[in-house]
Amino acid sequence: MPRNKWNIIKSFAGKNSLLITIALLTGLCYNILTIMIPISIGKFYELSFGFSSHRLAAFKFIPFMDASNFQSFLGFFFALVALRLGFEYLNRYSISLTGERFSKTLRERLFQNQLQVAMNIYDTKGIGKYLLRYSGDMKSIQNYMKNGLIRFSQDIVLLLIVVIAIGSINVNLALIIAGCIAFSSIILWAINKALYKVSLERRNTRSGMLSFVNTRLRSILALKAFNKYLPEEKRYLKRSDKLYIIGKRYAKVVALLQSMIPAVTYTMLGIIMTYVFTASQQAESKLGGSSLLVLILLIISILPVLRRSLRVSIVWKLGDISFTKLIDILDLPKENQLPFENIKLDDREIIFNNVCFTYPNTSKPIFNDLQLLINPKSTTLLQGKSGSGKSTFIRLLLKLMSPSTGHISFGDHQCYKLSEKTIRKNIAIVSKDFPLYGRDVYEAIVYNRKEANKEKAKFLLEHLQQHEDHQNQLKLDSKIGDLGCNLTSGQQKLLMYCRALLTQKPILILEEPLKEINIYTQKLLLQLLKDFQDQKTLILLDDHEVKGFDIDTIYHL
């Protein structure tokens, strides 16, 4: 089934039908009770001034309309107010809860999708493109659900009931009101078309600004070091000016729309007054005091609702734009489409068979018929200068990317038939391309946070740091900063080793394995890796020879 807004809403409504039914039913009850208030004031008028209106007889089924004295009327009136309070509370709460649940469901699905997006797509879009969705767009979508669908349908029901109630007092008046509502909706529809265009432009420009700020803040060190304030400020000013101009256009359309709404409703009131006045001149259709009062109060009580319903198209338009963006992300090709199987690849050779690879949107192939065989539990060095494709090799092996042609396999398991998770369960990596993340050292190096793992992590961390300066030694609770920015590159490398070795995966990829590590710690590491050498497949990637390892095979990239 193609993904669209209605499929998403329908599937949510199916899973939350009770909550939505409660919202709609309480809305209906609260609406009916709302209308009873002006009607009861008509009764109050009757009781106070001794008039009786045959037109109000239509409402005889309402209990207080039968009340013969003021005391019992007042009892009903307060009961009505209390009941309305209860229903309004339930209604508002259930609508808000529906909105909260809807955005919870969507943001969780969105994050899952964002994490699983295929790397070739992710690379071309960049991080900034994914950030906005959690703030403005989610709010617009939540609003769409709450105000654009539930509250709007509730308001339409209220308007219908009021028109029917007015119709039971005076049919012509009901027809005039219905006609006016239809006519004003058409006028506002036209303005809304213009609104859609300018809102879309405003959203896209804002989104671009967010990406801009994001990349500048991420490169803040370079920006400061190279005195790039001025050019970046100038670029930002240009964007900001553009957003301001679009913002002005947006403000114009919204102001027009919002000032048109009261104008339209007051014009409607004028038409109604003209009719009532004309009718009062003709004795046969004259409206009695109490029914006139009820009519006026009914009309006044629906004016805010009418304004809200005429304004709803802003909610629809903004919601539509955000839905489109959301669906764009949800529709991005994902990885992990194959089911996970817990296959151990420790005794399989790694085979690259005529692998060709070219990055999307580029023409220069990185690999042309790459042939490679890595025996299980052996140590292999892939040597190549910068740009020769070492990082690309890792990406292919991890199935972050797929070969353009040719095959990668683990023994007789073809890579394209294995899920990404299956492959990655077998491979650990030490490389600057796979940064550390988490708040502290513990979060950065241990993913399975069992107590036993904490002990192992503490032990390994202390072991690997025994030759480091005392003041440089990290503890499990040391804060690492954003992507390890509080750490030296040597500390980062050691933590990457801890992260890789704590996972017990059978294949270990080490990019520039000894770089940035002091000579004593290098010895320690080499000894540790030697202990593993007959249990793990080691793949070293470097632009030079790597001393200290017993290397079985060398490939030149």
Ligand X SMILES: Nc1ncnc2c1ncn2[C@@H]1O[C@H](COP(=O)(O)OP(=O)(O)OP(=O)(O)O)[C@@H](O)[C@H]1O
Between residues 123 and 346, which has the closer beta carbon with respect to ligand X? 123
Between residues 235 and 385, which has the closer beta carbon with respect to ligand X? 385
Between residues 318 and 397, which has the closer beta carbon with respect to ligand X? 397
Least distance (Å) between residue 118 CB and ligand X:
12
Query: How many residues in the shown chain lie near ligand X by CB under 6 A?
Result: 12
* 482-521 footprint of ligand X as x/- string (CB under 6 A): ----------------------------------------
Which of 541, 553, 430, 546 lies closest to 494 in space, CA to CA? 430
Between residues 84 and 390, which has the closer beta carbon with respect to ligand X? 390
Q: Count how many residues are written for the chain.
A: 557
Burial degree of 283 (CB within 10 A; 0-12, 13-18, 19+): exposed
Cα separations (Å) of 370 from 354, 359, 366, 401, 463? 5, 15, 10, 15, 39
Between residues 215 and 453, which has the closer beta carbon with respect to ligand X? 215
* Residue in the block written with tokens 């970046």: 232
Residue 173 near residue 50, CB atoms below 8 Å: no
Between residues 203 and 395, which has the closer beta carbon with respect to ligand X? 395
Which tokens go with 404? Answer: 């353009």
Report the alpha-carbon angle 365-370-374, nearest 5.
Answer: 140
Least distance (Å) between residue 491 CB and ligand X:
20
* 256-295 footprint of ligand X as x/- string (CB under 6 A): ----------------------------------------
Q: Collect all residues with Cβ–Cβ distance below 8 Å to 145 and sequence separation of at least 6.
A: 9, 12, 98, 99, 102, 103, 319
- Between residue 413 and residue 432, which ones bind ligand X under the rule CB under 6 A? none
Looking at residue 12, the DSSP 8-state letter turns out to be H
DSSP result, 346-381:
TT--EEEEEEEE--TT--S-SEEEEEEEE-TT-EEE
Between residues 67 and 381, which has the closer beta carbon with respect to ligand X? 381
Least distance (Å) between residue 133 CB and ligand X:
23
Beta bridge partners of 379: 538
* 165-204 footprint of ligand X as x/- string (CB under 6 A): ----------------------------------------
Least distance (Å) between residue 383 CB and ligand X:
10
Report the alpha-carbon angle 518-524-530, nearest 5.
Answer: 130
* 96-125 footprint of ligand X as x/- string (CB under 6 A): ---------------------------x--
- Between residue 345 and residue 404, which ones bind ligand X under the rule CB under 6 A? 359, 362, 366, 384, 386-392
Least distance (Å) between residue 364 CB and ligand X:
7
Least distance (Å) between residue 390 CB and ligand X:
4
3-state secondary structure of 488: coil
Least distance (Å) between residue 439 CB and ligand X:
28
Q: Round to whole Å and give the CA distance between 20 and 24.
A: 6
Least distance (Å) between residue 257 CB and ligand X:
45
Between residues 311 and 432, which has the closer beta carbon with respect to ligand X? 432
Between residues 342 and 386, which has the closer beta carbon with respect to ligand X? 386
Least distance (Å) between residue 394 CB and ligand X:
8
Q: Round to whole Å and give the CA distance between 265 and 141.
A: 28
Q: How many CB atoms lie within 10 A of CB 60?
A: 9
Least distance (Å) between residue 380 CB and ligand X:
16
Between residues 384 and 490, which has the closer beta carbon with respect to ligand X? 384
Provide the sign of the torsion angle of the four alpha carbons 517, 521, 523, 525, taken in this order. Answer: negative
Report the alpha-carbon angle 495-537-467, nearest 5.
Answer: 30
Q: How many CB atoms lie within 10 A of CB 388?
A: 17
Q: Where along the sequence are the contacts to ligand X (CB under 6 A)?
A: 123, 359, 362, 366, 384, 386-392
